[in-house]
């Protein structure tokens, strides 16, 4: 079996569309060298042998696969709503498993300690019970009714508020979160995390946002999100083992980790094990 198993047939982000050049950019996907370029005005991706790989241009990013994807890349219907600002944050390279990067994105309990006085603060550390399910019809992990107190939930937030969240895992290395939108009550800001697995322990993280924020400068929005990811990186590069353990026993979850538990279960069910650790049977 080829390296990557079932994950070979999934879609992955490999660059920002607006940054493409005819000359192209060399990068990696699941341990294999690839080149992402602009050919005849359209994005193209080739592997190390020059073979053309499938391409999708969506959410401002180029997506490809080393295998044969059965499904179209997921959609995020909210990004097409009028009035949203679409923000490509750029890339953040992290020396960690791509699956650990996604799991960290699904986690709220770390906010007071890793994003102190921004996304969380002591003594507001309690994680209230929320709901998690694997939705079989769309084959996605969803966490809903997530609530957390945040001193500064977004660039547009003044002072502390209790923020509502929903999380969605729509691909093995992609997640979308919906959160309370301070300037537009009743609507959700959308923040997505697209992770490019370079190897099992190295990834490029491409955050993407669709916000209702009319006032902030684009560079401030980008800077805010980059600051958050740099703080996450200091944790992600220091977890042992580097690979995400999919079998119980190696790590100890609590009720606050229900999303993470469902994510690991969903990965294991599908054989999405690139970047994961399985105890030999």
Contacts with another protein, residue ranges (CB under 8 A): 107, 109-110, 112-114, 122-123, 125-127, 234-235, 238-241, 245, 250-256
> For another protein, which is the closer residue by CB, 95 or 184?
95
Give all strands of the β-sheet with 25-29 in edge-to-edge order. 25-29, 32-39, 42-47, 52-53
**Does an H or E element contain 12, and which?**
strand 12-16
Token pair for 132:
């998690």
> For another protein, which is the closer residue by CB, 31 or 245?
245
Three-state DSSP state, 19: helix
> For another protein, which is the closer residue by CB, 112 or 151?
112
DSSP assignment, residue 120? B
Three-state DSSP state, 173: coil
Residue whose token pair is 């190897």: 199
User: Phi and psi for 112 in degrees, rounded to 5?
Assistant: -65, -20
CB of 248 to another protein, least distance (A): 13
CB of 256 to another protein, least distance (A): 4
Q: List C-alpha distances in Å: 198 to 46, 72, 123, 271.
A: 15, 22, 38, 19
CB of 203 to another protein, least distance (A): 17
How far is the C-alpha of 181 from the C-alpha of 22, rounded, in Å? 39
CB of 113 to another protein, least distance (A): 5
CB of 247 to another protein, least distance (A): 14
> For another protein, which is the closer residue by CB, 168 or 264?
264
CB of 145 to another protein, least distance (A): 16
> For another protein, which is the closer residue by CB, 144 or 239?
239
How far is the C-alpha of 2 from the C-alpha of 88, rounded, in Å? 33
> For another protein, which is the closer residue by CB, 139 or 247?
247
């Amino acid at each position: 079996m080829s390296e990557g198993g079932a994950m070979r047939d999934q879609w992955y982000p490999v660059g920002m569309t607006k940054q493409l050049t005819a000359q192209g950019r060399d990068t990696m996907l699941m341990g294999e060298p690839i080149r992402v370029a602009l050919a005849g005005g359209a994005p193209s991706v080739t592997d190390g042998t020059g073979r053309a790989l499938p391409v999708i241009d969506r959410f401002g990013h180029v997506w490809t696969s080393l295998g044969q994807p059965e499904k179209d890349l997921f959609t995020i219907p909210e990004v097409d709503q009028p009035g949203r600002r679409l923000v490509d944050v750029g890339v953040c390279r992290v020396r960690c498993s791509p699956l650990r990067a996604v799991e960290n994105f699904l986690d709220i309990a770390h906010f007071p300690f890793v994003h102190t006085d921004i996304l969380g603060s002591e003594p507001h550390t309690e994680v209230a019970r929320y709901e998690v399910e694997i939705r079989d019809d769309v084959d996605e992990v969803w966490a809903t009714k997530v609530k957390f107190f945040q001193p500064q939930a977004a660039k547009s937030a003044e002072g502390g508020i209790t923020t509502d969240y929903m999380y969605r895992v729509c691909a093995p290395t992609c997640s979308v979160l919906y959160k309370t939108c301070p300037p537009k009550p009743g609507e959700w800001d959308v923040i997505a995390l697209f992770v490019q697995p370079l190897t099992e322990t190295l990834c490029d993280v491409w955050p993407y946002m669709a916000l209702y924020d009319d006032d902030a400068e684009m560079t401030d929005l980008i800077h805010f999100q980059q600051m958050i990811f740099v703080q996450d990186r200091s944790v992600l590069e220091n977890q042992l083992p580097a690979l995400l353990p999919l079998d119980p026993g190696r790590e100890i979850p609590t009720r606050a980790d229900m999303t993470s538990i469902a994510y690991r279960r969903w990965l294991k069910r599908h054989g999405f094990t690139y970047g994961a650790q399985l105890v030999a049977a």
